[in-house]
Structure 1
């Protein structure tokens, strides 16, 4: 078994994992920022006079986003709700469906955070095994070469831990933004539900 090759493959896997994690972070940061901004705008526009999706400002309806989709689904389903319980069930169903789109891709970031240190440790083990194998075959002719080989092996662990720390930091930040967006989505549903109550009382 070529331990040096396996050691190098471990490095490549960690580099790919880091690139995937970076892509998820950038994509989710952009998506969360846009979603939160649109949710706040829709929240400000949604008042008791807005009793239908088409009564929302046209400028907001032209920008397709997750909060807008949430309101569209809610207003469409509200026409079939015959009681307050059905309206609450509709709100929960729409919220759960939209939340799945929010967390999309975050599992990959969490997998990288959990797996990177283990990959780094595995790379270090393979590197040390390769070093001892070379020593057994040729002996210790130059101690500096041994130190260099061990240093390269330990670099794998350092790289894995570094990827995990950076990924964990961004993951916590994204989770905070996710919680904030979820709060605004719930506010949108509550306000849309209140609009439905005012419409029912008029009828």
Structure 2
């Protein structure tokens, strides 16, 4: 069995993990920053008097985004609902249907954070095995070559841990962004749910959030 080949393969896998993690970090970073910015702007403009998406400033509705989709879906349907319970259920269904976009690709970063140190350790073990295998064949004629072989093997562990540390930093940062975005989305849902309904419908009662869900008192 060619341990050198497997050792190199472990390095290639870690390089692939690093490249994939970088892609996810850049893509999710741009998405979260833009979504959070739009949610804050929309929250400021979304007063109780707004009952139609066309009543919002044009610059906030010019480009599709997650907060706008959430608000527009609720505003478009709320006047067709017959009671507050239907409005509550519909709002929750809209939130559930769209929240998956927030968590999109985060599992990749989480997996890389877990797998990278293991791949590094595997690369180190394979490298050390290859070094001792070569020594068993040729003997210890140059201690420097032994040190170089072990040093190269240990580099795999260092690389794996380095990838994991960077990935963990951004993963935790993204989790904080996700919580902030969810908080703003819930506020937008509350403001979209309250206000005047059609005269044929019941009056809107106060809305509150409990355990992450909308509840109409």
Q: Fold-level match, TM-score > 0.5?
A: yes
- Could you say if the C-alpha distance between residues 198 and 49 of structure 1 is closer, same or farther in structure 2, counting changes exceeding 3 Å? farther
The answer on whether the counterparts of 2:48 and 2:195 sit within 8 Å (CA) in structure 1 is: yes
Greater share of residues in helix: 1
The answer on whether the counterparts of 1:51 and 1:196 sit within 8 Å (CA) in structure 2 is: yes
| TM-score under structure 1 length normalisation | 0.95
Whole-Å separation in 1 of the counterparts to 2:18 and 2:196: 47
Whole-Å separation in 2 of the counterparts to 1:164 and 1:188: 36
Tell me the residue number matched to 1:66.
Answer: 66
The answer on whether the counterparts of 2:79 and 2:198 sit within 8 Å (CA) in structure 1 is: no
Is 1:49 aligned to residue 49 of structure 2?
yes
Is 1:13 aligned to residue 13 of structure 2?
yes
Tell me the residue number matched to 2:23.
Answer: 23
The answer on whether the counterparts of 1:117 and 1:160 sit within 8 Å (CA) in structure 2 is: yes
* Alpha-carbon shift at residue 198 of structure 1 (Å): 9.1
- Could you say if the C-alpha distance between residues 159 and 198 of structure 1 is closer, same or farther in structure 2, counting changes exceeding 3 Å? farther
Tell me the residue number matched to 1:113.
Answer: 113
Q: Deviations over 1:57-78 (max 9, x none)?
A: 2221112111111112212232
Count of residue pairs brought into register by the alignment: 202
Tell me the residue number matched to 2:145.
Answer: 145
| TM-score under structure 2 length normalisation | 0.89
Whole-Å separation in 2 of the counterparts to 1:86 and 1:128: 65
The answer on whether the counterparts of 1:47 and 1:195 sit within 8 Å (CA) in structure 2 is: no
- Could you say if the C-alpha distance between residues 196 and 183 of structure 1 is closer, same or farther in structure 2, counting changes exceeding 3 Å? farther
Q: Deviations over 1:120-142 (max 9, x none)?
A: 01101110110111011111010
Tell me the residue number matched to 2:184.
Answer: 184
* Alpha-carbon shift at residue 6 of structure 1 (Å): 0.8
Is 1:88 aligned to residue 88 of structure 2?
yes
The answer to which of 191-200 and 168-177 deviates more is 191-200
* Alpha-carbon shift at residue 107 of structure 1 (Å): 0.6
**Greater relative contact order (Cα 8 A, min sep 6): structure 1 or 2?**
1
Whole-Å separation in 2 of the counterparts to 1:96 and 1:119: 36
Q: Deviations over 1:109-166 (max 9, x none)?
A: 0010010010001101110110111011111010110011001101111110111011
The answer on whether the counterparts of 2:78 and 2:197 sit within 8 Å (CA) in structure 1 is: no
Tell me the residue number matched to 1:99.
Answer: 99
Tell me the residue number matched to 1:173.
Answer: 173
Over the residues paired in the alignment, what is the CA RMSD in angstroms?
A: 1.6
Tell me the residue number matched to 1:36.
Answer: 36
